Structure 1
Amino acid sequence: MEIKPATHSPNQLLLDERKDQRRKLVRLAVLSVIYVLLALWAVFTFVPLLWMLSSSFKDTTAITAVPPQLIPKKPTLDAYKRIIEVGGLGRWFVNSIIVAGLSTIINVFFASLAGYAFAKLRFPGRNGAFWILLSTMMIPGQVTLIPLYILVVNTFELANTYVGLIVPGMVSVGSIFLMKQFMSSLPGSLIDAGRIDACSEFGIFWKIILPISKPGLAVLGIFTFVGHWNNFFWPFLITNTNSMRTLQVGLTSFRFEHLQDYGAMMAGAVFSALPMIIVFLALQKYFLRGITIGAIKG
C-alpha cells in the first residue's frame, strides 16, 4: 500500500502563518511592557541618588525650597568645605576603610577555612556542629547586643578602639554557610591528589582550594565590605570621640536639636555612596553570581 505524504492546503498554511505572527506580536507586546516597567523602575531608583548629589551643591534655602529644585540654580561647594574643614571627613573615611577592610580580610579568611572544613573534611560531629552553627542565625542580633556591649566595653575595655569595632563582626555564620556551599561544588579529586603528594590539610587549603575559589571569595569579600562600610549601629555604640567615628556615624554630627545641616549631610552621603557605586559597577558580575551560590548543593 502506497503512503502519500501529508500535504497542507493553502488555507491551512495561511492560518498557521497568521498564528505565528500573532504569537510574535504578543511576545513583542509583553517584552515592551516589561522593558517600560524596568525603565520606570530604574528612573524611580535613580532619582534619590540624583537628589542627593544635587542637594550637596545647594545651600539650606535651596534644599528646603518649595517646589523642590532638582537641578541647583546656584551651585556651591560650601557643604563640601564644611564637612571637610569642620566635620573631619578625612578621618572618618580612613576609619571606615580600616574597619571595613580589616573586617573583610579576616572574615574571608576564617569563613573560607571553616567552609572548607565543613565541606571537604570528615570528622565526628561535623553535620551536628554545622546545624548548631546555622541555628544561631535564628537568634536576633538585638538579643545578643547588650551582652556583647557589656563584654566589649566593661570586661575587655575595648570601647573607642579599632579592636572593639572589628572583633565582634569578625566572622559571621552566613559567611561560613556561603563558603561551605560554594566549596561543596569543588572537585574532591584535587584534594586527593594533594594528599597523595603529602601536602598538609592547610597546604591543600592554601595552595589548591583558595586559588580555585576566587569567585566565591570575591562574592563574600564584596558583601562583607559593603556590610561593614554601611554599618552604623555598632560603631555608634562603641565610639565616643570624633576621631574614632566611622563615616556613617560621623554624618550624624551635622544633625542638631533645632537645626539640620542638610547640605553637609548630603555631601557626606555622596562620599559614603561613591565607593559602593564604584565597587558595584566594577564587580557587578560577582554580585549576580552571589545570588546563586547559596543554591549549590554539596
Structure 2
Amino acid sequence: MRLNRSPIISNIIVAACALLFIFPFYWIITGAFKVQDVAVAIPPEWFPLEPTLENFETLFKNPVWRWTLNSFIVAGGEMVGVCLVASMAGYVLAKKSFPGRVIIFSMFVAAMALPKQVILVPLFTMLADFGWIDTYKGLILPAIGWPFGIFLMKQFAQTIPGELMEAAKIDGCSEIRMFYSIILPLLKPAMGALAIFTFINGWNDYFSQLIMTRSTPMMTLPLGVATLKGEYTTPYGVLMAGAAIASIPMITIFVLFQKAFTQGLTMGAVKG
C-alpha cells in the first residue's frame, strides 16, 4: 500500500505546483478581457463573465507592433551573439592551455556576482561617447559578453572527449573547421539552454532598456507597455493585455529549443 500511495502523492504535489505556477499566467489572460471596474473588483471575478476586447483596442492605439519588433531584434540579437561568443570563449577556456587562463575564468565567475547597476554609469558613459544611446547597438552589444553564458559553455565544453579533437587534428582538420564541424554540434544542448536564458533575459531586461532608450519608437514591448500606466490611474486590463502579448514569444522560444535543451552530449557525439 505504501508503494502504491507514493506515486499518487507525488502526482498530487506535482499537479499542485503546476497549478500554482500556471495561475499567474491564467490571471493575466483572463484579466486582459476584463473592463477596468471588473479587473479591480473585490472579491475578484475569477473568469470574465462579460469578456471584452476593449483593452486590446486601447493597447493597439500605441505603436505596439514597433515595440514588438524592437523586442525581437534586441532579444534575438543578444541570443545569437551570446551563443556564438560564449561557445567560442567557453571552448577556448576549457580545451586550450595558455598563460592566465585560470585568472580570466575567475574574472568571469566574479563578474557573475556583480550587480548590473554597479556598471551602469560607466557603461552609459561609454555608450554615450560612442553615440550608441537610443540605438540597437547600444541595446544589444553590451549584453553579448554575458559571464554566465561563458561559464555555462566552458563547463559543458569540458565534458567533450579530447580524443575527438586529437583525431580531427590527425586527419588534418584546421582549428576553425574543427570548431564549427565537431565542437559546435556537440555544444548544441548547452546552446539550446543558453538560447532560452538569453532570449528571456533580453526580452525582460526592463532596467537596461529604460536607461538606454530615449524615444518612443525605440522602446521595447515591456518598456512600452509600462509607459501606459497613468499618473493617477492604472489601466490594469490594458497592462494585462500587453503582458499577455509579451509572454507569447517567450513561450514560443522555449517550445522551439526544448528538444536541444534536453538532448544529451554523447548522443550527438556518436551520430554517424
TM over 0.5: yes
State the secondary structure of the residue aligned to 2:231.
coil
Matched, 1:34 2:10: yes
Q: How much has 1:107 moved relative to structure 2?
A: 0.8
Question: What is the RMSD of the two structures over their aligned residues, measured on CA atoms?
Answer: 1.8
Alignment check: 8 A CA contact 1:95 1:246 kept: yes
Matched, 1:107 2:82: yes
Q: 2 CA distance for matches of 1:197 and 1:211?
A: 18
Q: 2 CA distance for matches of 1:274 and 1:73?
A: 24
Alignment check: 8 A CA contact 1:219 1:289 kept: no
Query: Structure 2: which amino acid aligns with 1:182?
Result: F
Q: 1:212 to 1:185 in 2, by over 3 A?
A: same
Q: How much has 1:282 moved relative to structure 2?
A: 4.4
Structure exhibiting the larger radius of gyration computed from Cα positions: 1
State the match for 1:44 in structure 2: 20
Matched, 1:81 2:57: yes
Q: 1:133 to 1:51 in 2, by over 3 A?
A: closer
Alignment check: 8 A CA contact 2:209 2:219 kept: yes
- Give the gaps of 5 or more residues in structure 1: 1-24, 291-298
Q: 2 CA distance for matches of 1:273 and 1:87?
A: 18
Matched, 1:260 2:234: yes
Give the aligned length: 264
State the match for 1:68 in structure 2: 44
Q: Alpha-carbon deviations, 1:179-221, whole Å to 9, x = none?
A: 1111111121221122223332222111221122211111111
Query: Structure 1: which amino acid aligns with 2:98?
Result: F
Alignment check: 8 A CA contact 2:91 2:154 kept: yes
State the match for 2:70 in structure 1: 95
Q: 2 CA distance for matches of 1:289 and 1:178?
A: 16
Matched, 1:245 2:219: yes
- Runs of 4+ residues over 4 Å off in structure 1: 285-290
Q: How does 1:1-298 map to 2 (within 5 A)?
A: 25-84=1-60, 86-153=61-128, 155-284=129-258, 286-287=260-261
- Give the gaps of 5 or more residues in structure 2: 265-272
Query: Structure 2: which amino acid aligns with 1:147?
Result: P
Q: 2 CA distance for matches of 1:285 and 1:208?
A: 20
TM (normalized to structure 1)? 0.83
Alignment check: 8 A CA contact 2:189 2:262 kept: no
Query: Structure 1: which amino acid aligns with 2:32?
Result: S
State the secondary structure of the residue aligned to 1:76.
coil
